[in-house]
Structure 1
Amino acid sequence: MSLQRRFAIVTGASTGIGLELARCCAKDGFDLLIAADEDRIHQAAAELRATGADVEAAQVDLSTMDGVDRLYAATEARPVDALLANAGRGLGHAFLDQDFAKARSVIDTNITGTAYLIHKIGNDMRRRKSGRILITGSIAGFVPGSFQAVYSASKAFLNSFSFAIREELKDSGVSVTCLMPGATNTEFFRRADMLDTSVGTIGKDDPCYVARIGFDAMMSGEGDVVSGWKNKLQSRVAHVVPAGVLASQHRKWAEPGTAKD
């Protein structure tokens, strides 16, 4: 990899928002290390190389400490200018009906793996007094997500976590930005087994649009950004409506069998 160009890591970059974030980085002159736990990460790397960027792919399981360590080792000690921590899992259905191994994978990927990676890369950035971190949270983190309980709670963690470490890193030269999208047109709902739900079948935001908003906010050093005016309205409503009411409303969106015709 060229030492003259900036270097970014993008996780969850095989499809969806992560792949679009990687495209934003490539177009802006970053070399890339992209990661996901599926073979398609190598196809994504080939597509991104066509932009002229130097791209390496790491097929690793970021729900594990070993997977994070392997991704970190793949940097080969090259300074990371931007970390876009986008890897995440979703899971639908009522909590007690879920396979707990899958529920734990959501927690391990969205929370533990993300926090561990940020701890490792963030320490390097702080020592250099330079770097940008983008965390993909969600407006789901503002709502008690009935029939998405573990996922929504994991995003509440990430939303809160990003604001907290942003304050801790104030004046350090390291910025932290939280991208909080709403329902986006990706494979999320299929993978989360939510295609029979209302939220799984309604119109969704374009992942290219969402990624561009997040990338621009990161490069500007903003603290957070909610993509789309409807999502901004929902996030504001969530701050004033009682949690019990929000949970009841969410059931209408996420309970199996509520899919719109």
Structure 2
Amino acid sequence: MAERAKLAVVTGASLGIGLELAKQCIEHGYDLIIASDTEEIQEAAAVLRGLGGTVEAVQADLATRIGIDQLYTTVARQGRPVDVLMANAGRGLGEAFVDQDFADIQRVIDTNVFGTTYLLHRFLRDMRNRNEGKVLITGSIAGAMPGAFQAVYNATKAYVDSFAYALRNELKDTDITVTCLMPGPTDTDFFETADMLDTKVGTDKKDDPAMVAKKGFDAMMRGEGHEVTGFANKMQAMMANIMPDDALAEMHRKMAQPGTAKH
């Protein structure tokens, strides 16, 4: 009897780090269910199938219970356990907090905090019942510092980073591993959708999403607790542990304040 192909679920997989994580899964022989709230998820599925993968795409609003339930139901219909869960869906938002539209603020919180939490609650119960599985949660080094001009985004990532470490500890006596991927600025559409193209961080050189995804995937496969990608980001994460919060907020301001872009 042939050994079954393992199944991976990747959220936020239409572009950027999520798409590259899905490519890593294909490269390592996983069947895929990918999800995003955009129509581009179908294009991503076509790309992944072109690499030889078996892929099912789900377009769902991953900031809502309905959307997460839609993804969960699609996975359940397969009648197969999820071997790898990559909770990658996220949303950014720049500019000063008081200048932001609150609907945009709520969207960031709902996607990064509520959506991530509910997704993990639904899928981790099944993994715990089987006592098997690997989880990769995309946090950020942004969660390690007060994010002046990205206040809500950084706060949500502080939640995600902390949540990932807590889950890892709760599950330490099981055969389930939880890894937190903590990238820095990465060359994706993040800064465009967050309206940050007129900032220093938006115009500075960024990490390759394929590199970030490979580092995260490899760390997950090794069962490590976290992976900070890139030397500069590792240094920044170290500084966040020793610098006062006021100094960190001022440092972030110089990167993220509108009008600081290099020309």
TM-score, normalised to structure 2, is: 0.97
Q: Residues 96-148 of structure 1, C-alpha deviation per residue, up to 9 Å, x if partnerless?
A: 11010110110100011111011110000000010000000000000100000
Mapped partners of 2:250, 2:207: distance in 1: 24
1:162 pairs with 2:129 = no
| Residue aligned with 2:219, SS | helix
Give the match for residue 118 of structure 2.
116
Q: How much has 1:151 moved relative to structure 2? A: 0.3
Q: Does 1:242 align with 2:213?
A: no
Match of 2:65 in 1: 65
Q: What secondary structure does 1:113 align onto?
A: helix
Quote the residue 1:18 is aligned against: 18
What do the CA deviations read for 1:200-227 (whole angstroms, capped 9, x no partner)?
Answer: 0000000000000000000110000100
Q: Which amino acid aligns with 1:117?
A: L
Give 2:225's match in structure 1, choosing from 223, 226, 248: 223
| Residue 78 of structure 1: how far off its partner (Å) | 2.2
Note closer, same or farther for the CA distance 1:38–1:3 as it changes in structure 2 (3 Å cut).
farther
- Among 242, 253, 257, the alignment partner of 2:259 is 257
Gaps of 5+ in 2: none
Which amino acid in the other structure matches residue 204 of structure 2? Answer: I
Listed one character per residue, the Cα deviations across residues 27-58 of structure 1 (whole Å, up to 9, x for unaligned) are: 10000000011111001001101122110000
| Matches for 1:82-121 after TM superposition, within 5 Å | 82-121=84-123
Name the structure 2 match of 1:131. 133
State the alpha-carbon separation in 1 of the partners of residues 10 and 217 from structure 2: 11
Q: Which residue in the other structure is 2:28 paired with?
A: 28
Secondary structure in 2 matching 1:72: helix
Structure 1 counterpart of 2:199:
197
Q: Give the aligned length.
A: 260
TM-superposition CA deviations, 1:51-87 (whole Å, max 9, x none) = 2211000000100010000000010142100000000
> CA 1:136–1:127 in 2, change beyond 3 Å: closer, same or farther?
same
* Offset at residue 171 of structure 1 (A): 1.9
Q: Which amino acid aligns with 1:62?
A: L
Distance 1:112 1:231 in 2: 26
SS at match of 1:222: coil
Runs of 4+ in 1 over 4 A off after TM superposition: none
- Counterpart of 1:61 in 2: which secondary structure? coil
Task: Identify which of 176, 179, 187 aligns with 2:178.
Answer: 176
**Comparing 165-174 with 17-26, which one deviates more in the overlay?**
165-174
Residue 208 of structure 1: aligned partner: 210
Read off the aligned partner of 1:115 and give its amino acid letter.
T
SS in 1 for 2:98: helix
Cα distance change on mapping 1:3 and 1:14 into 2, 3 Å: farther
Q: For residues 3 and 11 of structure 1, do their structure 2 counterparts lie closer, same or farther at Cα, with a shift above 3 Å needed? A: farther
Task: Determine if the alignment matches structure 1 residue 52 to structure 2 residue 52.
Answer: yes
* Amino acid across the alignment from 1:120: R
**Identity, % of aligned positions:** 58
For 2:252 and 2:215, how far apart are their aligned partners in 1?
26
RMSD: 1.0
- Counterpart of 1:197 in structure 2: which amino acid? T
Q: CA deviation at 1:195?
A: 0.1
What is the CA distance between 1:3 and its match in structure 2? 7.8
Taking the aligned partners of 2:104 and 2:73, their CA distance within structure 1 comes to: 27
Cα distance in 1 between the residues matched to 2:92 and 2:74: 26
1:41 equivalent in structure 2: 41
CA distance in 1, matches of 2:4, 2:49: 17
Instruction: Return the letter of the residue paired with 2:28.
Output: D
Q: Provide the secondary structure at the position in 2 that maps to 1:133.
A: strand
Aligned letter for 2:243?
V
